[in-house]
Structure 1
Amino acid sequence: MTTQFYERLSNDLTQLLENPIDYNVTIEVGEEPDNQIYKAHSYILQSRSSYFYKKLNEISFNENHIKVLKMPDISIKILDIIIKFVYGGIISLEKLENSVVFDLLITSNELNLNELVELLQTHFVDNNNSWIGQNFSRVYLTSYQTKNFRIIQEFCSDIIAKYPDTIFKSESFPTLPENVLISIVQQDNSQLEEIKIWKYIIQWGKAQNPTLPTNLDEWTSDNFLTLKTTLKQCLPHIRYFSISSEDVFEMIFPYQQILEPKLWSDINSKLLAPNKPISSTILPPRKILNKTLKVPNSLSSNIITEENALRISSWIDKRELRYIRYTKNNPYEFKLLVRGSRDGFNVKTIYEICDKIPNLLIVLKVKDTGEILGGYIPCSLDKNNDEWIYSQDSFAFSLKTKNSILSRVKNFDYAILNYPQQSKLFFGNTLCFVGNLKTDKSCCLQSKVSYDKPVRSEKFIDSNLSDKSGFNIEEYEVFTVSKKINL
C-alpha cells in the first residue's frame, strides 16, 4: 500500500520558505533601493529547475556559506509567485491581470519550469482568448520566437488560418512586426479571400508610413516607391492569379506602381489570355474550406452573444476555465423558447410556454442601463403549483465585458420561487421577476440570502418591492439548454 500526502508536503515546504531554516541561497530581485531578498535552499531550487541547477553550480559560497543569486530583470511580483510555486507546487491566477500572467509565462520559460509553462499556456488558450486577440502581435511574436510555447503557437496558427479577420481587424494589426505579417500571409490554408489579404497588406504598409497622403489621387511616384519598399518582403506571397478581373481592376490597378512591371504585365496577360504562358511564379490558390466561412453563430438571441453563451456553458459545467470560441465548440445547444417582444412580457407567459421543461436559461436586458442579467434553472417550472423548488445547481449572473458576476445558490431549499398564480419567478431573493416585466417596474434585487453574491451594484432591500428598487427591462429571452449530440 502506498499513501501519498502531497497537500501536507506542499504546506510544509511552503512553511519552510516563509521560515527559511538553514537556508544557503539568497535571491536578490529588482533594482536597488527597491530590491527584495529571498532566502532559499539550493537543494529545493536545483531539484525543481534546471535553470537554478546550472546557475547555482556556477556560484561559489561566500564567507557566510551563502550563494548570492542576483536577478535584477525579474519583477518582485513575478518571482514571488514563482518561488512559492517552486516550494509548494501551488499557484493561483484568479486575481492576476492577464498581462502579469503572460509575463509570468515568459519568466517561467526562462527558468525552465516546464510544467508551469504548459499550465499557463493552457490557461490562456482556455480562458483568455479575447486578451490574446487584443494583444495578438505580442503573443504571436513571443510564441513564434519560443520553442516551448507549442500550445499558444498552435492556437495562434489555428486562429490565423480559420479566422484571419480576427487578426487583420484587431487594433494591434498595424503594429505587427514584418516577419509576423509574412508568416501570416504565407499560410496556404488562410480562410480569407485573396483580395482581402491584399487590402490588409496595403493597410499595414500605409500604417508604417503615416506621412503618405490619405487621398490616393495625390500620391507621387516617390509615395508609391515608399510603399513598395515597405512591402518588398510581403508582396511575393500574394496569390495574384487567384484574384478576379473585377478585383484586379478595382483594387490592384490603383497600386500597380508597387508591383514589378513584369508581374503586372503577367497579371493582365493571364486575365486576357488564361492559356498563354507567363514567366511570373504562380502560387497555388489558398485552401479555402468554405468560401463563406464565418465564426460559428447559431445562437438565436438578440441579447447574448456566442461568447456569452460559452461563458454560461462553462458555469453550467462548473468549469474553472471557461470554454472558448476558437478551439472548442459550445457543448450545449441553446434553443429559444420565449422572447418578450414576440410572446409577451408577463411572467405568466414564461410559465405557460416553459411548463415542465428543465434546464432553462433566462436572460434580460435592463432598460436604460443596457445591463444583461439572468439565471439558470436546471429543474422544471410548474404552472399549476406555487412552491419553492429545490436545486443545487441553479445560479444567477450579470454579464459584463470584464468581470462578469456569477452567483451560485447556497440555500438549496429556496433556490427557485415558482409562483405562477402571483406571476412571480425568483432566484432566491437575488433576482426577482414579478408581473409585467416591461411596464410594472417589477424586476428587482432584494437580499442575497439564498445565493452567494449580488449580481447588480445596487442597494438591496429585504422586504417588499418598491419603485426605488425595481427596474423595467427592454427585452428578455428564455432558452432550453441541452447537450449537443455527437460532438
Structure 2
Amino acid sequence: MTTKFYDRLSNDLTQLLENPIDYNVTIEVGEAPVNQIFKVHSYILQSRSPYLKKKFNESPFNENHVKELKISNISAKVFNVIIKYIYGGAISLKKLKTSIIFDLLITSHELDLDELVEHLQTYLVTNNSAWLRLNFAHVYQTSYQVKNFKIIQNFCNDIIAKYPYTIFESSNFNSLPEDALISIIKLDDLQLEEDKIWDYVIQWGKVKNSTLPANLNEWTSNHFLTLKSTLKNCLPHIRYFSISGELILKKLYPYLQLFEPKLWLDINTRFLAPNSSISSKILPPRKTLNEIFPIKITLIPSNIIADEYVLEILSWIFRKNVPYTESNQYKFKLLVRGSRDGFDVKTIFEICDKVSNTVIVVKVQGTGEIIGGYNPLEINNEEKWCSSRDSFIFSLKTENLKNSIVSRVTDFSSAIYYNSSKPSLDFGFALNLRGNLKTKSSYCGKGHYEKQIRSNSNNFSVEEFEIFKISLKK
C-alpha cells in the first residue's frame, strides 16, 4: 500500500512560489499600471503546462540566466490563482467574482490546464448558473470559440432548447460561429416551430453576406449560390418534412434555388402524395416538452434576472405555462432601478404612481438572494391597505429554478400596503420594503401570504432592485 502525502507536498511547493529560491524565469502579466511580475521555476511550470513549456523553449536566457516572459492578455489577479494551482494543486474560488472565474476558465484553456478547465466549468454550472444566464450570449459564443467547453455548451444548449428566443432574439445571434448554430438546430428538443428555425438560419446566412440585395426579387442565380454555399452545413439539419405545405409554399419556395432537385421533389411528394416512397433522409419531428413553452418576450433589460427567470415569473402570474402564439408577446418595461434612480421607496411612489401589473425584483446585500413580488394593482401614492387575490411574493433559487419559493396572498383584503409619508411598500407582512433600501430597514416575515420566502427574518439591505411593468405586446 502506498501512502500519499499530497497536502505536505502542496504546501511545500506553494512556499517555494512565495519564496522563489533559485528561480530562473520571470513572467510579467497584465498591462501597466496593474501589471505584475512573478518569479517562477521552469521545471515546475513546464511539467504542468504545455503552453508554458512551449513559451520557455522559444525564449532565450538573459545575461543573468533568467528567461523573461510577458503575457499581457492575462490579468495579474487571474494569473495569481493559476500559478498557485500550478505549484500547489489547490484553488479557492469563494471570494472571486464570477466574471473573474469565467476569465480564469478561459486562461486555463489557453495554458492547456485541462484538469482545471473541467473543474471550473462544473463549478460555474453548479454554483453560478445565474451569472451564466445573465451573460448568456457572451458565455455561449465564448464556449464555441474556445471549442473545449463541453460542460458549458451542454448547459447552454439545455437552456436554448427550452427557451430558444434567449439566443435567436439576441443581438449576438447573427455573429454566432457556424458550429454553434449547427449545434442548436440539431437539438431534438428545440422548442421552436420548424419554419421559424428556417427563418433564423436564412437570416444568419444573409448577414454573413452583406452584398446580397435586401429585395429577394433582385436576386440573381449567383446570389442564391452565395447563400447556398454559406449555409451548406446548416441546411441538412432543417426538418423540412415537419413543415406544413402552406408554409413550404410561403417560406421555402422563394429560396427554391437553395435546394437540390431531388430533395425539393421529395418535400413536395411528401405532402402531395404522402404514401409515395421518397429517397431523401427524413429527420424525426422535434420532441415537444409539455412542461415548457417558448413564450416570446422582449428581452428583459435587467441587471438581476435572466430571461429564463422571467418565463418562470410569467408562469406564476398566469398560474400555468402560457403557450406561444405570434400575438402572445410579453413586454417588460423597466420603470425603476435602484442604481439608476435611487434606493428610497419614495422614488417608487413618484415614478410608478397609478401603474399596475408590476414586478419588483430585489437582490439582497451580502447573500445574493433574489426575492420580489408581483402586484396587479395600481401603485398608489397614499396610505392604505389594498385588496388583491392575485398578488404573490417569491424567492428565485438561481441554482435550480424548481426549488424557487412562490407565496400567494391568503388575506385578500390586506394584500398590499402603501405608505408614502413613511415610505413603505409592503406585501402584507411577508415582504416589507421600507425607507432607504440601502439601510437594513426591510424584512421578510409572516402574515397575509402562504409562507415565508426567506429563512432569515432579520432586516436586510438591498444591493440592487428593479421594477418592471408587464404588458402584452400587441
Please give the range of the TM-score, normalised by the shorter of the 2 chains.
0.5 to 0.7
- The Cα shift of 1:240 comes to 0.7
Counterpart of 2:222 in structure 1 is 222
- The residue correspondences of 1:353-368 to structure 2 (distance < 5 A) are 354=428, 360-362=430-432
- The residue correspondences of 1:311-326 to structure 2 (distance < 5 A) are 315=369
Q: Say if 1:57 and 1:299 are closer, same or farther in 2 by CA, change over 3 A.
A: same
- The Cα shift of 1:363 comes to 6.0
Is 1:192 equivalent to 2:192 in the alignment?
Answer: yes
Q: Does the 8 Å contact 1:161/1:187 carry over to 2?
A: yes
Is 1:300 equivalent to 2:321 in the alignment?
Answer: no
Is 1:20 equivalent to 2:20 in the alignment?
Answer: yes
Counterpart of 2:257 in structure 1 is 257
Counterpart of 1:444 in structure 2 is none
Is 1:75 equivalent to 2:74 in the alignment?
Answer: yes
Q: Say if 1:232 and 1:53 are closer, same or farther in 2 by CA, change over 3 A.
A: closer
Counterpart of 2:374 in structure 1 is none
- The residue correspondences of 1:112-191 to structure 2 (distance < 5 A) are 112-114=112-114, 116-125=116-125, 126-127=127-128, 128-142=131-145, 145-146=147-148, 149-191=149-191
- The residue correspondences of 1:233-252 to structure 2 (distance < 5 A) are 233-252=233-252
Counterpart of 1:438 in structure 2 is none
- The residue correspondences of 1:91-106 to structure 2 (distance < 5 A) are 91=92, 98=99, 101-106=101-106
Is 1:334 equivalent to 2:429 in the alignment?
Answer: no
Q: Secondary structure at the match of 1:209?
A: coil
Q: Provide Cα deviations, 1:161-211, integer angstroms capped at 9, x if missing partner.
A: 333322222111111122222222222232222111111101101111223
In 1, the alpha carbon distance for the partners of 2:18 and 2:367 equals 40
Give the counterpart of 1:397 among 462, 465, 470: 462
Q: Does the 8 Å contact 2:56/2:67 carry over to 1?
A: no
Q: Does the 8 Å contact 2:132/2:139 carry over to 1?
A: no
In 2, the alpha carbon distance for the partners of 1:283 and 1:124 equals 34
Supply the RMSD in Å over aligned alpha carbons: 5.1
Matching residue's letter, 1:396 = S
- The residue correspondences of 1:198-209 to structure 2 (distance < 5 A) are 198-209=198-209
Segments of 5+ residues of structure 1 without an aligned counterpart are: 383-390, 402-472, 476-487
In 2, the alpha carbon distance for the partners of 1:212 and 1:340 equals 59
In 1, the alpha carbon distance for the partners of 2:67 and 2:225 equals 56
In 2, the alpha carbon distance for the partners of 1:397 and 1:35 equals 34
Q: Does the 8 Å contact 2:42/2:56 carry over to 1?
A: no
Per mean C-alpha deviation after superposition, the further-off stretch among 200-209 and 293-302 is 293-302
- The Cα shift of 1:243 comes to 0.7
Q: Provide Cα deviations, 1:22-54, integer angstroms capped at 9, x if missing partner.
A: 43443354799998542124576578x354896
Q: Does the 8 Å contact 2:270/2:276 carry over to 1?
A: yes
Q: Secondary structure at the match of 1:188?
A: coil
- The residue correspondences of 1:396-435 to structure 2 (distance < 5 A) are 396-400=461-465
In 1, the alpha carbon distance for the partners of 2:180 and 2:366 equals 34
Counterpart of 1:441 in structure 2 is none
Q: Does the 8 Å contact 2:30/2:73 carry over to 1?
A: yes
Q: Does the 8 Å contact 1:122/1:151 carry over to 2?
A: yes
Larger-gyration structure (1/2): 1
Q: Say if 1:93 and 1:353 are closer, same or farther in 2 by CA, change over 3 A.
A: closer
In 2, the alpha carbon distance for the partners of 1:374 and 1:162 equals 39
Q: Secondary structure at the match of 1:227?
A: helix
Q: Say if 1:220 and 1:116 are closer, same or farther in 2 by CA, change over 3 A.
A: same
In 2, the alpha carbon distance for the partners of 1:312 and 1:198 equals 46
Counterpart of 2:276 in structure 1 is 276
Q: Say if 1:324 and 1:152 are closer, same or farther in 2 by CA, change over 3 A.
A: farther
Counterpart of 1:434 in structure 2 is none
Q: Say if 1:304 and 1:397 are closer, same or farther in 2 by CA, change over 3 A.
A: farther
Aligned residues: 371
Q: Does the 8 Å contact 2:370/2:396 carry over to 1?
A: no
Q: Provide Cα deviations, 1:80-134, integer angstroms capped at 9, x if missing partner.
A: 4422454574555766583x54342122134354554345324543422235422
- The Cα shift of 1:252 comes to 1.7
- The Cα shift of 1:230 comes to 1.9
Matching residue's letter, 1:212 = L
Q: Provide Cα deviations, 1:432-465, integer angstroms capped at 9, x if missing partner.
A: xxxxxxxxxxxxxxxxxxxxxxxxxxxxxxxxxx
Per mean C-alpha deviation after superposition, the further-off stretch among 253-262 and 307-316 is 307-316
Matching residue's letter, 2:316 = L
Per mean C-alpha deviation after superposition, the further-off stretch among 107-116 and 252-261 is 107-116
- The Cα shift of 1:398 comes to 4.6
Q: Say if 1:330 and 1:157 are closer, same or farther in 2 by CA, change over 3 A.
A: same
Segments of 5+ residues of structure 2 without an aligned counterpart are: 295-307, 319-356, 372-394, 449-455, 470-474
Matching residue's letter, 1:179 = D
Q: Does the 8 Å contact 1:109/1:117 carry over to 2?
A: yes
